[in-house]
Amino acid sequence: MARPDQLNLTSFTEGLVASSLLLGAAFGAVFSGRLADHKGRKTVIMYLSIVFLITTLGCAFAPNAAIMIFFRILLGLAVGGASVTVPTFLAEISPAETRGQVVTQNELMIVSGQLLAYVFNAVIANYSGGSTHVWRYMLVIATLPAILLWIGMFFVPESPRWYASKGKLKSALRVLHLIRHPKRARLELVSIKKAVQKERTSEKATFRDLQTPWIRRIVFLGIGIAVVQQITGVNSIMYYGTHILQDAGFNTDVALVANIANGIISVAATFFGMWLLGRAKHKPMLLIGLTGTSISLLLTGIFSMTLHGTPFLPFLVLSMTVMFLAFQQATISPVTWLMLSEIFPQKLRGLGMGVTVFCLWTTNFLVSFLFPVLLSWIGLGLTYFIFFFCGIAAFTFVKFFLPETKGKSLEELELFFRKAGLKKKV
């Protein structure tokens, strides 16, 4: 008999529940940029925090899978919106010399939040006394960040660049005086005015421009970078880490505690990745990262098929998962977002980022939806072999098609792609 406090998920509906958020995020990422341009970065982030709160409560009290999926899609709209609006806000309000560091710290905060979630989940599960609706408590706790975000945004000024784009130069200067030295504030306002005027007069790319070979190549490369980050299977581990460890042999409570190791290594690796970005070329970082993740996936598949049922398997799977996340979070994830910000010239940035972020979330959705289905049909070993071959395909793409972007200005990259397009014509 089905319990009223359980959703009674099959592998198919489990995949739908987990991935429905990502489907919503794909569309939220596409439409939030225009909304933030119209309403303001701060205002949209406050709106998103309210959506976070309402939809998380909707998920916590969902009586069945259909209602859960509905609220997860709405929650995804907010997640996708935040994935575009928050980095934009951080970039516009940060000083130029620390902008890269501040924006990269956004990734650090994401993995830190995941770590906290793993810790709270483990504590709640181990002190719940075996309650069948413990997962609802976990979701209610997840409303706290939304409340804190909403409150915190009252104490943060609006983006001075957004004010300038709306012709509100006095408001822009007032904000700059709050966050900059007075002399620097006036100089920065002049720089912002010039940038805004240049954008208004510059022609933006449209889908028709994809008929131009060099523009089409850049957009396809951007899509490739986005897909590469996701087909390694990273989010199958982040979303189903406890499930994977249970399948390997840990019981539920131990798996929840062991999953904390995934969060810890993600935070530590992100710190290392932030340090490494300023010192290493981007293409070699991606190749090293893909090599490490592919090896860990291959070994996990081999161990799962040869050591199934042994007491060693759970610990080997956990160690391979930690190894995977170390390479992923130190190299592939930070390089992905940095290269996407570098590869598109000003004319292409709106179109390019919109298309690539949509493809990133869509790939994330497909991987997250299919993972529990594959796990149920063919088992952990063969599922990881599929991700291993995806990793080989990603390595091939980066090795033979992706140019190096470190140390090149946007103008130099545009010239590189234009020349490459002319050579192909000849």
The answer to whether residues 317 and 354 belong to one domain is: yes
- pLDDT of 165 reads 87
- pLDDT of 182 reads 80
- pLDDT of 214 reads 79
The answer to whether residues 149 and 214 belong to one domain is: no
The answer to whether residues 179 and 148 belong to one domain is: no
Do residues 392 and 294 touch, judged by C-beta distance below 8 A? yes
- pLDDT of 203 reads 67
Identify the residue whose tokens are 């940029």.
33
- pLDDT of 408 reads 65
- pLDDT of 4 reads 42
The answer to whether residues 196 and 219 belong to one domain is: no
**3-state DSSP call for residue 261?**
helix
- pLDDT of 405 reads 76
Do residues 85 and 106 touch, judged by C-beta distance below 8 A? no
Identify the residue whose tokens are 């710290």.
105
The answer to whether residues 344 and 362 belong to one domain is: yes
Q: Which two tokens stand for residue 393?
A: 């395909």
The answer to whether residues 402 and 419 belong to one domain is: yes
**Among residues 321, 324, 333, 322, which one has the least CA distance to residue 229?**
333
Distance CA 289, CA 57 (A): 37
The answer to whether residues 409 and 289 belong to one domain is: yes
Identify the residue whose tokens are 């935070």.
267
- 175 lies in which domain range? 160-201
The answer to whether residues 52 and 141 belong to one domain is: yes
Q: What's 367's domain CATH number?
A: 1.20.1250.20
Q: Which amino acid is at 193?
A: K
The answer to whether residues 195 and 259 belong to one domain is: no
Distance CA 272, CA 35 (A): 34
The answer to whether residues 183 and 239 belong to one domain is: no
Q: What is the CA radius of gyration of the chain?
A: 23
Do residues 270 and 367 touch, judged by C-beta distance below 8 A? no
- pLDDT of 426 reads 38
Full-model pTM:
0.81
The answer to whether residues 99 and 220 belong to one domain is: no
Distance CA 46, CA 149 (A): 7
Q: What are phi and psi of 259, to 5 degrees?
A: -65, -20
The secondary element (H helix, E strand) that includes residue 117 is helix 99-126
Task: Classify residue 55 by burial, with Cβ atoms within 10 Å: 0-12, 13-18, 19+.
Answer: buried
- The residue count of the chain comes to 426
The answer to whether residues 190 and 71 belong to one domain is: no
Q: Which two tokens stand for residue 148?
A: 């804190």
Which residues in the chain show pLDDT less than 50?
1-5, 422, 425-426
In the chain, the number of structural domains is 3
- pLDDT of 307 reads 93
Do residues 9 and 330 touch, judged by C-beta distance below 8 A? no
Do residues 192 and 163 touch, judged by C-beta distance below 8 A? no
- Domain boundary at 156, 174, 191, which? 156
**Among residues 79, 359, 83, which one has the least CA distance to residue 225?**
359
- pLDDT of 2 reads 39
